[in-house]
Amino acid sequence: MKTFSIKRGDTWRQSFENEDDDGKPIVLTGSSAWFQLREKGSDRVLLDSSEVEGMLRIDNSTVYLEVSAQLMAALPVGKHLFDIETTYPDGTVLTSETYALKVIKDVTRTL
């Protein structure tokens, strides 16, 4: 499982390329994507892209994720899990591998 690390309160920007088994880009025109970050070992949803306008954006074969510093500041320190579910124009739904996000305690912050 791939793990991404970020300090609590930092803006999180990440891109995810969609490729077929041969490594060729899968064009996502007309597709939609959905992202949820859940507390590891729990069903508690920490972030949900369906509740935040613009958190996910699709361009050609890439899904772009951007989570504001304000939302990241509210996350608990620790390791959390997420994946990205893509719905294609023909109704096919495919979900990415599961990823881990390690939120690291920040030192510089408003108390």
Hey, what are 4's tokens? 């991404």
- With pLDDT > 90 as the criterion, what percentage of the chain qualifies? 91
Residue 70 in 3-state DSSP?
Answer: helix
What confidence tens digit (pLDDT) does each residue in 68-111 have?
A: 999 999 999 999 999 999 999 999 999 999 999 999 998 887 77
Prediction pTM value: 0.90
Radius of gyration, CA atoms only, the chain = 15
Other residues' Cβ atoms within 10 Å of the Cβ of residue 10: 15
- With pLDDT > 70 as the criterion, what percentage of the chain qualifies? 100
Summary mean pLDDT of the chain: 95
> Is the pLDDT at 44 greater than 90, yes or no?
yes
Q: What mean pLDDT comes out for the span 54-75? A: 96
